[in-house]
Chain A
């Protein structure tokens, strides 16, 4: 029988504080953001989502503009094409953001994430911020490309004003960023991609479709309170909007904030 010998205790003080490599480099929230950034861009799914978003933008805006030209719609701001494409393109952002969360639960690597950033609100906020920034940049890029494509498709049936177009491009970016925050919140609350995506698809796609499809002022009113309806009101330049663009932004922000808080509540309460 061998009883392992106790290691020789050193006389000098034990290794209490190791010479941690790289002290001084950012940790905390900045570190958490850097980690999320690294994780997001190490997955092919993220790139695929953005490429898909770009492709959808191109096809949709050209289609939108061509219909307007063929049916001789009244002249409208060219940016409306890109603003309308956001209804579809948002799903690229939804999938990107959702998968960034649910893939961690599916593989168990969420534990690694929580071990390196044990403050859960920080992990959640970092993920939301990274997704929002990516969605904003992607959204504005899509909008610029969509506007250019639509200009060709409209072939004269659209008006161009630098200020208005810039405002619409930024509005699309903002909308996509808020949708990203919304998706991260829902994904943290649900943990599984199927659950998260069905909630998001219902909220952002099925529900508006049903409400507007059934018609009637009450249902249309209701749709104006949903993120996509409200988003349309600040991305499109319309004369007959029920409320101003600031209110519209606030409505979408309220949806994103609510989802964020629900996701955070679940993340903090449940065991990882």
Chain B
């Protein structure tokens, strides 16, 4: 388990990470989301003892990373897959890490086999493709059979097979009861991989919720419908837009996208106004939409500084809809 408490990092005038507090629990995959520059990598580096926090602390199993005697046997990390000396072979890169942690060399060959790098193991890492470097990074993270995994953008540069392989791997690790904390900017991939989400923006915590909760919070009443008759369409739009907190978009083909009401409610309303509908369905929100909604809302709040941006998430259904 990783505990982050009041973690803050200031670079000069810029607050890269601002008072983050969250837990990463064992037995599930926790996704770490945020736009570029939100402070994800800085947070991970502070968890791993590479960057010094300005304030606050990050603990792994109750202890700071830097106090672990055999850190690789407790935490496996992959930050930048390309951070390998190009003249050194992938195997030597791992052997050096293994030796520092008292891990036998045969374990190095085991993990190389596991990530599918056994054949290229003795080639200089400079000749590896981005995908192979990614696999080498994962091999390094698995080296000490750790109970905690911290992976920064692990699918970067991997082909679709590799992406699926990472997904299965981290799900399997979590199912074994390990703690998995991974960042990714690929929303669809994150939706398939993570059980829990920690979302940050501009260094601040925007959301710490399970995937289900996160999607439910964002997927407030949104529906799509087609109204064949233009007059009926106008009536329905008029009735809908007169309600507070409901917005309607009309596409070129005459399809309405209604935010703020469910398909059932729209159906009832259409029936009441005697408007004919063709096709009526609830819109299911993808993680990408939910995430965009959240960051957009938090940006509004930050810009207007009307309220704490976390309030946007606490009451997402009321927030920022016109």
A residues adjacent to B (C-beta < 8 A): 1-4, 6-10, 13-28, 31-32, 34-36, 38-39, 42-45, 103-104, 107-109, 111-119, 269, 271-272
Asked whether A3 lies within 8 Å of B88 as measured between CB atoms, the reply is no
- Closest B residue to A42 by CB, please name it: B92
B282 to chain A, nearest CB (A): 10
Known: A27-B70, A27-B101. A14 touches B96 (CB 8 A): no
- Closest B residue to A29 by CB, please name it: B100
A112 to chain B, nearest CB (A): 6
Instruction: Tell me which residues across on chain B come within 8 A of A269, comparing CB atoms.
Output: 52
Asked whether B84 lies within 8 Å of A109 as measured between CB atoms, the reply is yes
Asked whether B286 lies within 8 Å of A7 as measured between CB atoms, the reply is no
Q: List 15 A-B contacts (CB under 8 A).
A: A1-B284, A1-B285, A2-B192, A7-B174, A18-B144, A21-B107, A27-B70, A34-B99, A109-B83, A109-B84, A112-B97, A116-B71, A116-B101, A118-B71, A272-B50
- Closest B residue to A104 by CB, please name it: B85
Asked whether B102 lies within 8 Å of A31 as measured between CB atoms, the reply is yes
The contact string, 1 if C-beta is below 8 Å from chain A, for chain B 65-76, is 111111111000
Bound Cα distance from A177 to B26, whole angstroms: 48
Number of A-B residue pairs with CB-CB distance less than 8 Å in the complex they form: 170
Asked whether B50 lies within 8 Å of A111 as measured between CB atoms, the reply is yes
Given A7-B28, A111-B79, 7 new contacts (CB under 8 A):
A16-B147, A25-B104, A34-B99, A45-B87, A107-B85, A108-B82, A117-B100
Bound Cα distance from A45 to B87, whole angstroms: 10
Asked whether A25 lies within 8 Å of B102 as measured between CB atoms, the reply is yes
Contact of A31 among B79, B101, B284 (CB under 8 A): B101
Instruction: Tell me which residues across on chain A come within 8 A of B99, comparing CB atoms.
Output: 31, 34-35, 38
B178 CB–A CB distance under 8 Å? yes
- Closest A residue to B68 by CB, please name it: A118
Bound Cα distance from A262 to B141, whole angstroms: 32
Asked whether A4 lies within 8 Å of B211 as measured between CB atoms, the reply is yes
Most chain-A CB neighbours within 10 Å: which of B68, B87, B102, B145? B102
Most chain-A CB neighbours within 10 Å: which of B51, B73, B89, B219? B73
Bound Cα distance from A39 to B85, whole angstroms: 10
Contact of B85 among A32, A34, A103, A271 (CB under 8 A): A103
Asked whether B147 lies within 8 Å of A17 as measured between CB atoms, the reply is yes
Known: A2-B192, A15-B178. A119 touches B97 (CB 8 A): no
The contact string, 1 if C-beta is below 8 Å from chain A, for chain B 176-210, is 11100000000000011111000000000000001
B59 CB–A CB distance under 8 Å? no
Contact of B194 among A4, A19, A39, A43 (CB under 8 A): A4
Bound Cα distance from A52 to B73, whole angstroms: 40
Bound Cα distance from A133 to B143, whole angstroms: 29
Bound Cα distance from A199 to B117, whole angstroms: 41
Asked whether B102 lies within 8 Å of A26 as measured between CB atoms, the reply is yes
Asked whether B84 lies within 8 Å of A22 as measured between CB atoms, the reply is no
Bound Cα distance from A25 to B69, whole angstroms: 12
Asked whether B88 lies within 8 Å of A43 as measured between CB atoms, the reply is yes
Asked whether B195 lies within 8 Å of A4 as measured between CB atoms, the reply is yes
Contact of A3 among B26, B95, B215 (CB under 8 A): B215
B116 CB–A CB distance under 8 Å? no
B122 to chain A, nearest CB (A): 11
- Closest A residue to B73 by CB, please name it: A20
B77 CB–A CB distance under 8 Å? yes
Instruction: Tell me which residues across on chain A come within 8 A of B144, comparing CB atoms.
Output: 18, 20-21
Instruction: Tell me which residues across on chain A come within 8 A of B86, comparing CB atoms.
Output: 107
Asked whether A35 lies within 8 Å of B27 as measured between CB atoms, the reply is no
Instruction: Tell me which residues across on chain B come within 8 A of A119, comparing CB atoms.
Output: 66
- Closest A residue to B9 by CB, please name it: A271
Contact of B87 among A7, A44, A118 (CB under 8 A): A44
Asked whether B104 lies within 8 Å of A22 as measured between CB atoms, the reply is yes
Q: Which 6 A-B pairs have the closest CB atoms?
A: A108-B83, A14-B177, A25-B102, A20-B73, A35-B100, A1-B284
Bound Cα distance from A9 to B285, whole angstroms: 27
A12 to chain B, nearest CB (A): 8
Instruction: Tell me which residues across on chain B come within 8 A of A108, comparing CB atoms.
Output: 80, 82-83
- Closest A residue to B190 by CB, please name it: A4
B146 CB–A CB distance under 8 Å? yes
Asked whether A35 lies within 8 Å of B97 as measured between CB atoms, the reply is yes
Interface members, chain B 110-168 (any A CB < 8 Å)? 140, 144-147
B48 CB–A CB distance under 8 Å? yes
Asked whether A3 lies within 8 Å of B211 as measured between CB atoms, the reply is yes
Asked whether A7 lies within 8 Å of B100 as measured between CB atoms, the reply is no
Bound Cα distance from A28 to B65, whole angstroms: 14
Interface members, chain B 29-51 (any A CB < 8 Å)? 45, 48-51
Asked whether A18 lies within 8 Å of B147 as measured between CB atoms, the reply is yes
A99 to chain B, nearest CB (A): 11
Asked whether A271 lies within 8 Å of B27 as measured between CB atoms, the reply is no
- Closest B residue to A32 by CB, please name it: B100
Instruction: Tell me which residues across on chain A come within 8 A of B194, comparing CB atoms.
Output: 4
- Closest A residue to B76 by CB, please name it: A115
- Closest A residue to B105 by CB, please name it: A22
Instruction: Tell me which residues across on chain A come within 8 A of B314, comparing CB atoms.
Output: none
B171 CB–A CB distance under 8 Å? yes
Contact of B27 among A14, A25, A109 (CB under 8 A): A14
B212 CB–A CB distance under 8 Å? yes
B226 CB–A CB distance under 8 Å? no
Interface members, chain B 6-33 (any A CB < 8 Å)? 26-28
